[in-house]
Structure 1
């Protein structure tokens, strides 16, 4: 379905994420070094990039809300401490990794959630377990569905 600028791209805990916010993020990505290699916005790949970017913004919003409730003094570690290698990036997934890279609030939440766990994999698993139920508080608008949602027309993974 084609997105409309009259309806939110997503709603996170009742707060809208407007299409112009997603458009602005994509414009910054296109203006950055290498942005000319991004897919044409009207192509299937370009629409999937819009959906992927929406997911990153939604995650950042969830992280910001959670970080607001953290006790004082919980610092956000450097991204290399959260995602030290490709294995960690695969475990977390590309959207979560991107959101954590951009979001100091997300890294603060990660540190808080994962603090009781000894190893990297256990920390990442605990964080993903924390994140999963929070994703149910997100509503995605038409044209902003999850990139892997088989109901959207550009989904590449079908059974």
Structure 2
């Protein structure tokens, strides 16, 4: 059996890092049939490999960007990933951001690079009026798209900063996905550590 889970630009990522992550994440599979349990275990290992590889790639990206070295990952730290993050980001990226200080540092740096035009902020406010009803308007059941008055909405000036922050965060997440797709091209996985959705192995799945 190989001693590495993957090669990142020719440098080994130790299997022990994947094993440590697996030991920290509770098993949630409810299957009882041996073949189903075996398949679930294989997919958990592939999923964990992706999280560890993302951490390794993020460490390298932080070094290339001259960012201060992030705190080391604690192998025993149990991941706490919000369901909304999984829905928005996919389980691998959500878990990587929870697990990896380097991934979080990279995402924060990418967020600082995003420029959100004033027109985009105003457009979001105008197109999502239901999000900006006052408490009183909500209590009265005001229809934001029919019969509402200007006084039923929070003023643009009061919510502008929050909208800009949300748009900047969303743009940074897209930039993170783009970076990860490019960075993964330099990764070669050991047998049994392929991406869970890789169609080259027989029990692949497309959930991320």
TM-score, length-scaled by structure 1: 0.74
Bigger RCO (CA 8 Å, 6+ sep) = 1
Q: Does 1:108 align with 2:105?
A: yes
2:12 is aligned to: 16
How much has 1:75 moved relative to structure 2?
8.5
Whole-angstrom distance in 2 between the partners of 1:145 and 1:73:
31
Counterpart contact for 2:62–2:69, Cα < 8 Å? no
1:151 is aligned to: 200
Q: Write out aligned runs for 1:67-78 (5 A).
A: 67-72=62-67
Whole-angstrom distance in 1 between the partners of 2:56 and 2:14:
12
Whole-angstrom distance in 1 between the partners of 2:170 and 2:82:
11
- What SS does the corresponding residue of 1:146 show, helix, strand or coil? coil
Q: Which 5+ residue runs of structure 1 have no aligned equivalent?
A: 30-34, 77-82
- What SS does the corresponding residue of 1:144 show, helix, strand or coil? coil
Q: How many residues align?
A: 141
2:94 is aligned to: 97
1:129 is aligned to: 178
Q: What is the RMSD computed on CA atoms of the aligned residues?
A: 2.9
Whole-angstrom distance in 2 between the partners of 1:8 and 1:74:
24
Higher-Rg member (1/2): 2
Compared CA separation, residues 105 and 20, structure 1 to 2 (3 A):
closer
Q: Which 5+ residue runs of structure 2 have no aligned equivalent?
A: 72-80, 117-166
